[in-house]
Amino acid sequence: MAAFYNQATLTYNGQSTTSNITVGEIRQTLSVTKTAVGDSYTPGDRITYVVSIVNTGATAFNGLTLTDNLGEYTFGEETRVPLDYVDGTVLYYVNGVLQAAPTVEAGPPLVITGINVPAGGNATIVYDADVNEFAPLGLEGFITNTVTASGGGLSADVVAQETVNANTEPSLTITKSLDPVVVPENGQLTYTFMIQNTGSNPVTAEDNAVLTDVFDPVLTITAVTFNGGAWTEPANYTYNETTGEFATVPGQITVPAATVTQDPTTGAWSVTPGVSVLTVTGTI
């Protein structure tokens, strides 16, 4: 509620007197909430936001404006915006019924005008935003963006916020290479498996990561290394010399966390993956 105060002045014969101060309160009948579909993000993700406006009063609010700051934050003496509105994604519902698209200015900030909320009713606005290079990363990374409803007969702006955290779970990719590419009969070759982690948490033994492969042609393995250290069977891996089936023992593969940095000049964030390397050498 918003309080208001009022006092009257009476003048007569060059004199004046004042009344008591009356105090009243304006009860807001419009509420706004904002929700993200999904509770975390990675670079390049698309986040869907749902803005819900509820009117508990007996009077409609017409011509409201919604302004979304798209997560704007202070960077030195400047500002950075970690989200980009995705053009054409706004959906506008009144009491659950899809309406014609409102007027949208992509910004930043994102501005949506022409929102009507009937008495005792509700409006829902849904839109997408892409995570850009200014989105904070790492264990403490998050985007908090603010939506403000204004105009349309409101006595004061109504504000809602939503926070989405950077995804810190391990995220692995694997690439496999062969050296040499052309191998003579009974020749030796090496398979190299490079495992990269773009997550802010490492892969540890407790994650029970396992790498499997079926070597064709079947190898006679002469050496296996992991991050430069020698591995032995069956402590670190198993191998079937008849079928060529190779598998690491659960928990033997670990991968360090990625390193995230923010450019001190531009404010852009970047990720340097954590890397582990497994090599298998043998003859065919």
> For strand 110-117 and strand 122-131, is the pairing parallel, antiparallel, or unpaired?
unpaired
188-214 core/surface letters (b: 16 or more CB in 10 A; e: else): bbebebebbbbbbbebeeebebebebe
Contact 240, 247 (CB under 8 A): no
The mean per-residue pLDDT over the stretch 186-201 comes to 96
Say whether pLDDT at 1 is over 70: no
Confidence of residue 26 (pLDDT cuts 50, 70, 90): low
d(CA 170, CA 199): 4
pLDDT digits (tens, 9 = 90+) for 209-257: 999 999 999 999 999 999 999 999 999 999 999 999 999 999 999 999 9
Higher per-residue confidence, 27 vs 130:
130
pLDDT of residue 13: 83
pLDDT value, residue 25: 58
Q: Single out the residue of 34, 2, 25 nearest to residue 159, CA to CA.
A: 34
Q: What is the pLDDT of residues 222-234, one digit of tens each?
A: 999 999 999 999 9
Q: How far apart are CA 194 and CA 278, in angstroms?
A: 7
pLDDT tens-place string over residues 2-21 = 566 788 888 888 888 888 88
**Per-residue pLDDT, 22:** 81
By the 10 Å C-beta count (0-12 exposed, 13-18 middle, 19+ buried), 171 is classed as middle
Over the stretch 61-73, which tens digit does the pLDDT of each residue have? 999 999 999 999 9
**Element spanning 259, H or E:** strand 259-262
State the average pLDDT for the chain.
94
Q: Give me the residue spans of the domains in the chain.
A: 29-166, 172-283
pLDDT of residue 164: 97
Q: Is the pLDDT of residue 282 over 70?
A: yes
The fold for domain 172-283 equals: Immunoglobulin-like (2.60.40)
Instruction: For residues 84 and 167, give the distance between their C-alpha atoms in angstroms, rounded to a whole number.
Output: 18
| pLDDT range class, residue 116, cuts 50, 70, 90 | very high
With bands split at pLDDT 50, 70 and 90, how would you rate the model's confidence at 24?
A: low
Hey, what's the torsion of the CAs at 108, 114, 118, 123, to 10 degrees? -40
CB 151, CB 103: distance < 8 Å? no
Contact 278, 253 (CB under 8 A): yes
What is the pLDDT at residue 3? 62
For the domain made up of 29-166, give the CATH fold: Immunoglobulin-like (2.60.40)
Q: What is the pLDDT of residue 4?
A: 63
Instruction: Answer whether 29-166 and 172-283 agree in fold.
Output: yes
Q: Tell me which residue of 261, 263, 260, 235 sits closest to 248, measured CA to CA.
A: 235
Six token digits for residue 150? 């204004």
**Apex 270 CA angle, 266 and 272, nearest 5:** 145
**Structure token pair of residue 151:** 């105009």
Count of C-beta atoms within a 10 Å radius of residue 15: 7
**What pTM was estimated for this model as a whole?**
0.83
